[in-house]
């Protein structure tokens, strides 16, 4: 080696030493001096590129890396560092190629495989990320970081159960890894294991109290559970720690919307819109709030602006269709749902929402057919797969045993039991497996069908079918109109006659609150204070039919309302309610299970509905084809319960009960 080359090596070593000590300017100056005298010096060219990248000058660094690769060929180290610079610039496709070439050139480079996995995750390519992280673990099976990222990749690839096994193994050996606990919570949330998810996030926060992502993700669990206040507290904490997290502000707005705090929700969304933070999402959120406020024109304008930015966003189209439905524009709603389904033809939610719009419009044949898509939800698939017998598709049953099962609310089950007798005539045996609280009530249904509870082991059967699919399977597009098909227990009815005492005034049963966990409950349930003009009428005796939910509102009413809630049977739904109804002259109710019970008993019932009700009540009619004794009172405008109460009071004045 000549003295000149020896001096050159020493100069490169000085550049490396300067770089390692953090003197980026010094290292760059030395590299430039070398390249000035020897432009083809590969080591100096590579080191200068690395120094530029470390200094955040990645655009310049990329040029130097490309020159080094042109000079030295596909060197693993150069390719790896080139990928780092490209990733920092957001050029993820090129970065992935660089890391892949680096790993293929030196298969034992776990850093290149690891960076490739991270880049593929950022590219939303989880299958490729899985392969990369598995390569890391072949050489370093104990790497917590690689195992954690592998679990993320598996979850994003739809393999949440596999991800869960990895994460549970990690936390078993190291429960104080906050990042892993956070990822475990996300995975459990996706699997709808909410209690376990909350414990995981809380474990992460016990280690790192200011872990912003864990607060945010914990909020998502509470939001999924419809605990809007708890969710809001988590999002507020996240915003303290990460003020720029637009997702937390967006989800906080959803909480306030669900709590009917519309002005706060609008303020949060307006801030996101002004900042152009995920603009189409924020506009869609504001449109949803305006829909709930009854501001349909403003909501539709927001949707149109958002769709101009994201024309293929199926969620925006679906929510626009929902808004059109609430505005009473059913033809436009149905058309918009069809447009959304062109983008995502397999969407269960879009098909189910289209079904409800069709049914609300009285298009029963297509509506019942589309309604079958609800059975593709994971929970219903799991339930059906656990039952004996093949799926009944409407074929001839002959002497076969058909097991009917219930998948939705108690009111739905009461409403659709009318379809059991028609199918009884087609099968050798029919068994209805229904929610435990309804078994006793359904014993009064006159049928050769066997009633069993869901808590029992289901009997062997040849076929099974969901109760609410019977109109479709029986090819009965029109509503099966029935007179009374349930009855109260005579002894219990006599007990309530005695308990209610002497009749002095017309007795009217009142119900105002449905299940608050139902997504649209804020539209159908009526604050009891809105009923005060009715409940203070002196010429009637009002009897509460609320068993649990809604009774907490009684303290806020000025009305004359007898509450027997503490005396109602907690183990058998509606047994006492049915008995009480036999002593009532009328039932007045919001859209809960109560109108179904009254209708099935053949009792006179007046139903108070929002402007755009649930599909079963249709539009623009004062009666119901489901229940002959029902009269319907509808809002003239969204959220306008006072006008409905006024209609009821006026109608009462025209009634003669005695």
How many other CB atoms sit within 10 Å of the CB of residue 585? 17
**Among positive and negative, which fits the CA dihedral 588, 592, 596, 601?**
negative
The answer to whether 579 and 500 are in contact (CB under 8 A) is no
Kindly report the CATH number that applies to the domain delimited by 490-653: 3.40.50.2000
Is residue 562 helix, strand or coil? strand
646 against 523, higher pLDDT: 646
Q: Quick one: pLDDT band at residue 7, thresholds 50, 70, 90?
A: very low
pLDDT in tens, 37-68: 899 999 999 999 999 999 999 999 999 999 99
**Given this model, what pLDDT does residue 569 score?**
65
Q: Where are the alpha helices (DSSP H) in 525-593?
A: 532-535, 575-581
Q: Quick one: pLDDT band at residue 555, thresholds 50, 70, 90?
A: confident
DSSP string, 625-636: SS-TTEEEEE-S
What DSSP element (H or E) covers 542?
strand 541-544
C-alpha span between 216 and 390 (Å, rounded):
43
Cα distances (angstroms) measured from residue 521 to each of 259, 513, 516: 11, 8, 6
Cα distances (angstroms) measured from residue 515 to each of 177, 520, 547, 558, 607: 39, 10, 12, 24, 16
What is the model's pTM? 0.82
The answer to whether 167 and 189 are in contact (CB under 8 A) is no
End-to-end CA distance of the chain: give it in Å, rounded: 121
Kindly report the CATH number that applies to the domain delimited by 296-376: 1.25.40.10
Q: Quick one: pLDDT band at residue 8, thresholds 50, 70, 90?
A: very low
Residue 565: pLDDT over 80 = no
- Mean pLDDT for 359-384 is 92
Q: Quick one: pLDDT band at residue 572, thresholds 50, 70, 90?
A: low
The answer to whether 344 and 318 are in contact (CB under 8 A) is no
Question: In the sheet that 450-453 helps form, which strands lie side by side, from edge to edge?
Answer: 390-391, 463-466, 401-405, 429-434, 450-453
pLDDT in tens, 584-624: 999 999 999 999 999 999 999 999 999 889 999 999 999 99
Give percent of the chain with pLDDT exceeding 70: 97
Output the six-digit token pair for 358: 């069709």
Label residue 610 left, alpha or beta by phi (over 0 means left) and psi (-120 to 50 means alpha): beta
Residue 433: pLDDT over 50 = yes
Q: Where are the alpha helices (DSSP H) in 174-211?
A: 178-190, 194-207
Which residues, 6+ apart, have CB-to-CB distance to 489 below 8 Å? 444, 575, 578, 579
Output the six-digit token pair for 314: 């199926």
Q: Which of 272-276, 368-372, 373-377, 522-526 has the lowest average pLDDT?
A: 522-526
Cα distances (angstroms) measured from residue 476 to each of 104, 340, 422, 449, 469: 63, 28, 10, 20, 11
Residue with the two structure tokens 């637009």: 246
C-alpha span between 176 and 57 (Å, rounded):
37
Burial class of residue 424 in the structure, from the number of CB atoms within 10 Å of its CB (0-12 exposed, 13-18 middle, 19+ buried): middle
DSSP string, 145-171: HHHHHHHHHHHHTT-HHHHHHHHHHHH
C-alpha span between 574 and 37 (Å, rounded):
94
Residue 561: pLDDT over 90 = no
Residue 120: pLDDT over 80 = yes
Average model confidence (pLDDT) across the chain: 92
User: CATH topology of 385-473 equal to that of 490-653?
Assistant: yes
pLDDT in tens, 508-520: 999 998 877 777 7
pLDDT in tens, 135-163: 999 999 999 999 999 999 999 999 999 99
Residue of 449, 452, 445 whose CA lies nearest to 487: 445
pLDDT in tens, 300-329: 999 999 999 999 999 999 999 999 999 989
What DSSP element (H or E) covers 139?
helix 126-139
C-alpha span between 453 and 441 (Å, rounded):
12
Residue 571: pLDDT over 70 = no
Label residue 154 left, alpha or beta by phi (over 0 means left) and psi (-120 to 50 means alpha): alpha
Give percent of the chain with pLDDT exceeding 90: 82
* Domain limits, the chain: 296-376, 385-473, 490-653
Is residue 587 helix, strand or coil? strand
Q: Where are the alpha helices (DSSP H) in 396-501?
A: 410-416, 420-424, 439-442, 470-473, 490-500
**Given this model, what pLDDT does residue 515 score?**
78
Residue 350: pLDDT over 70 = yes
CATH class label, 385-473: alpha beta
Q: Quick one: pLDDT band at residue 478, thresholds 50, 70, 90?
A: confident
pLDDT in tens, 206-257: 999 999 999 999 999 999 998 999 999 999 999 999 999 999 999 999 999 9
Residue 9: pLDDT over 80 = no
């Amino acid at each position: 080696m000549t003295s000149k080359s020896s001096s050159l090596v020493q100069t490169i070593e000085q550049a490396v030493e300067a770089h390692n000590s953090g003197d980026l300017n010094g290292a760059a100056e030395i590299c430039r001096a070398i390249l000035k005298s020897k432009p083809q010096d590969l080591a100096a060219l590579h080191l200068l590129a690395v120094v530029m990248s470390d200094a955040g000058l990645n655009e310049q660094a990329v040029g130097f890396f490309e020159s080094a690769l042109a000079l030295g060929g596909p060197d693993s180290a150069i390719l790896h560092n080139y990928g780092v610079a490209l990733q920092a610039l957001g050029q993820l496709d090129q970065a992935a190629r660089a890391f892949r070439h680096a790993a293929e050139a030196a298969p034992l480079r776990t850093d290149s495989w690891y960076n490739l996995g991270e880049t593929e995750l950022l590219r939303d390519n989880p299958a490729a990320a899985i392969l990369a992280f598995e390569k890391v673990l072949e050489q370093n099976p104990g790497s917590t970081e690689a195992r954690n990222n592998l679990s993320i990749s598996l979850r994003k690839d739809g393999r949440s159960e596999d991800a869960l096994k990895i994460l549970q193994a990690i936390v078993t050996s190291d429960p104080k890894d906050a990042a892993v606990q956070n990822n475990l919570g996300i995975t459990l949330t996706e699997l709808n294991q909410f209690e376990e998810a909350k414990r995981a996030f809380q474990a992460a926060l016990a280690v790192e109290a200011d872990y912003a992502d864990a607060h945010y993700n914990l909020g998502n669990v509470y939001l999924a559970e419809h605990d809007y206040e708890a969710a809001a507290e988590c999002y507020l904490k996240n915003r303290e720690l990460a003020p720029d997290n637009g997702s937390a502000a967006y989800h906080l707005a959803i909480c306030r919307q669900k709590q009917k705090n519309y002005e706060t929700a609008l303020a949060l969304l307006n801030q996101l819109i002004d900042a152009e933070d995920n603009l189409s999402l924020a506009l869609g959120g504001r449109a949803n709030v305006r829909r709930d406020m009854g501001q349909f024109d403003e909501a539709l304008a927001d949707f149109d602006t958002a769709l101009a930015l994201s024309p293929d966003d199926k969620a925006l189209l679906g929510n626009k269709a929902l808004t059109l439905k609430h505005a009473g524009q059913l033809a436009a709603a149905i058309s918009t749902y069809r447009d959304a389904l062109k983008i995502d033809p397999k969407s269960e939610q879009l098909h189910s929402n289209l079904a409800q719009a069709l049914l609300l419009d009285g298009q029963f044949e297509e509506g019942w057919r589309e309604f079958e898509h609800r059975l593709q939800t994971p929970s219903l698939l799991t339930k059906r797969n656990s039952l004996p017998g093949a799926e009944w598709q409407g074929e001839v049953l002959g002497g076969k045993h058909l097991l009917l099962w219930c998948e939705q609310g108690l009111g739905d089950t009461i409403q659709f039991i009318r379809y059991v007798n028609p199918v009884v005539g087609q099968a050798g045996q029919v068994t209805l497996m229904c929610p435990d609280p309804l078994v006793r009530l359904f014993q009064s249904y006159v049928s050769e069908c066997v009633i069993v509870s869901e808590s029992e082991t289901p009997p062997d059967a040849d076929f099974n079918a969901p109760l609410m699919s019977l109109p479709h399977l029986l090819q009965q597009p029109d509503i099966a109109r029935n007179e009374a098909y349930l009855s109260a227990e005579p002894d219990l009815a006599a007990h309530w006659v005695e308990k209610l005492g002497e009749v002095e005034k017309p007795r009217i049963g009142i119900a105002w609150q449905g299940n608050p966990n139902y997504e649209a409950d804020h539209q159908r349930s009526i604050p009891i204070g809105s009923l005060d003009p009715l409940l203070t009428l002196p010429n009637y005796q009002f009897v509460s039919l609320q068993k649990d939910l809604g009774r907490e509102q009684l303290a806020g009413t000025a009305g004359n309302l007898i509450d027997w809630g503490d005396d109602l049977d907690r183990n058998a739904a509606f047994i006492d309610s049915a008995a009480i109804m036999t002593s009532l002259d009328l039932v007045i109710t919001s859209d809960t299970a109560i109108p179904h019970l009254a209708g099935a008993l053949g009792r006179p019932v007046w139903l108070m509905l929002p402007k755009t009700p649930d599909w079963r009540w249709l539009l623009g009619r004062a009666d119901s084809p489901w229940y002959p004794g029902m009269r319907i009172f509808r809002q003239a405008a969204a959220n306008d319960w006072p006008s409905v109460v006024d209609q009821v009071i006026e109608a009462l004045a025209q009634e003669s009960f005695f």
